Amino acid sequence: MCDLKQLYEVRKKLHEVPEIAFTEFKTQEIIMMELKKYYDLHIRLFEPTGILYEYTKGEGDYILFRADMDGLPIQENTNCSFKSKHNGFCHACGHDVHVTILIGLIKYVVEKKLKKNILFLFQPAEEGYGGAIHIINTGVFKKYSIKAAYSLHVTSAFPTGTIGLRPGIMFGIPQEFNIEFFGKSGHVATPQKGRDAFLAAISFYTEMIQLLAKKFPAQEPILFHIGKISSGTVRNIIPDLCVFEGTFRCLKMEIKEEIINIMQTLAKSIEISHNIEIKITLLCSYAPVINDETLTKTFIEKTPKDIKIINTDYSMVGEDFGFFTELYPSVLFWLGTNCSEDLHSDKFLVDEKSIDIALKVYKNILE
């Protein structure tokens, strides 16, 4: 039967080879090597680095379990014995553990010969590239009647031995964007001959924050954030270009569209008032993760009594499992792990004992 110590070793192998969106070839190879002896599994998708395994031993509908598999372009700083061997990349979001848990669940299902119909998806490119919608758009799920979908995400907000979830909105809607402000270069001594792109950008940001505060009440959760600003070349030259790299977050699709409209309308106004040009580029965006209320209630009832359940609030993090929650009754839960660092920290390292907890939860779902 599935041995936890063996799974811990699998996790270490995965942790050593973090790979970013659609390049998870070594990760894919490890998965396939671990599962190659299970002839009851059938590969239904190999696109390009993701894998969908089908296990059909029952009657009726299927259950879908999904694990994301990509790493992040962050240099690891944990000093663990199985530290990343890929310079400049690490599993700072714990997807190595997500993959390990799903491998462990598959081994349990096959070795127990459960009379179930189950799909197991190892999904690439969750970190900002929308791997979920890529997989869905292949049409691979159209032949299946899926009654429920499950996923999880590790967190250092709760200790090992706990899980967190809520019915309804679990994770919000992220919308990434770039804004380019095109002005005209000139010497600072003769500002009338230039058009300051940086000044226009600051005006845009200030007015945007004011408009959002005025438009939406305090009880409507919204975040608008500029994480990176690039502008200028020399201290005494008016910058002819400024670039914002940012994101906003909200909970409702209609609010997302309103914010985009406000950005575009304000851009036209700033173009006129500052005599510049503005280009807004909308990048990756995910659907909200919405936990089905009935399925969540059943999930909680089936959770082993020795695992503490924490009733969480919604989170503004983005997760492309939201595309699955649009299609099927679904549950995504936080998996607690003892770690003093937060997600995406270069020191984030998941406690391997959390693998045990997740497997107990998933096994009970299948009973």
For the stretch 228-281, pLDDT in tens is 999 999 999 999 999 999 999 999 999 999 999 999 999 999 999 999 999 999
Whole-number mean pLDDT of the chain? 97
The pTM assigned to this predicted structure is 0.95
pLDDT number for residue 5 = 93
Question: Taking 70 as the threshold, does the pLDDT of residue 341 lie above it?
Answer: yes
How sure is the predictor about 323, in pLDDT bands with cuts at 50, 70 and 90?
very high
**Cβ(295)–Cβ(331) under 8 Å?**
yes
Question: Taking 90 as the threshold, does the pLDDT of residue 3 lie above it?
Answer: no
- Counting every residue written for the chain, the total comes to 367
pLDDT number for residue 236 = 97
DSSP code string of 283-299: EEE-PPEEE-HHHHHHH
Give the residue-averaged pLDDT of 50-63: 97
Question: Taking 90 as the threshold, does the pLDDT of residue 112 lie above it?
Answer: yes
Q: Where in the chain is the domain with CATH 3.40.630.10?
A: 4-172+288-365
How sure is the predictor about 363, in pLDDT bands with cuts at 50, 70 and 90?
very high
pLDDT number for residue 95 = 98
CA distance 174 to 118: 30
101: three-class secondary structure by DSSP: helix
pLDDT number for residue 219 = 87
Give the residue-averaged pLDDT of 151-167: 98
Q: In which element (H, E) is residue 250 found?
A: strand 241-250
Question: Taking 70 as the threshold, does the pLDDT of residue 173 lie above it?
Answer: yes
pLDDT number for residue 357 = 98
pLDDT number for residue 320 = 97
CA distance 269 to 258: 17
- Percent of the chain scored above 90 by pLDDT? 97
pLDDT number for residue 2 = 64
CATH topology of domain 4-172+288-365: Aminopeptidase (3.40.630)
Q: Where in the chain is the domain with CATH 3.30.70.360?
A: 173-285
Give the residue-averaged pLDDT of 79-93: 97
pLDDT number for residue 203 = 98
Question: Taking 80 as the threshold, does the pLDDT of residue 1 lie above it?
Answer: no
Give the residue-averaged pLDDT of 60-76: 98
**Do the strands 277-285 and 173-182 form a parallel or antiparallel pair, or are they unpaired?**
antiparallel
Q: Which residues are catalytic?
A: 68, 127
Give the residue-averaged pLDDT of 72-100: 97
DSSP 8-state code for residue 83: -
Question: Taking 60 as the threshold, does the pLDDT of residue 125 lie above it?
Answer: yes
Is CATH 3.30.70.360 the right assignment for the domain spanning 173-285? yes
Burial 196-218 (b: 16+ CB within 10 A, else e): bbbbbbebbbeebeebbeeebee
Distance of CA 212 to the CA centre of its chain: 25
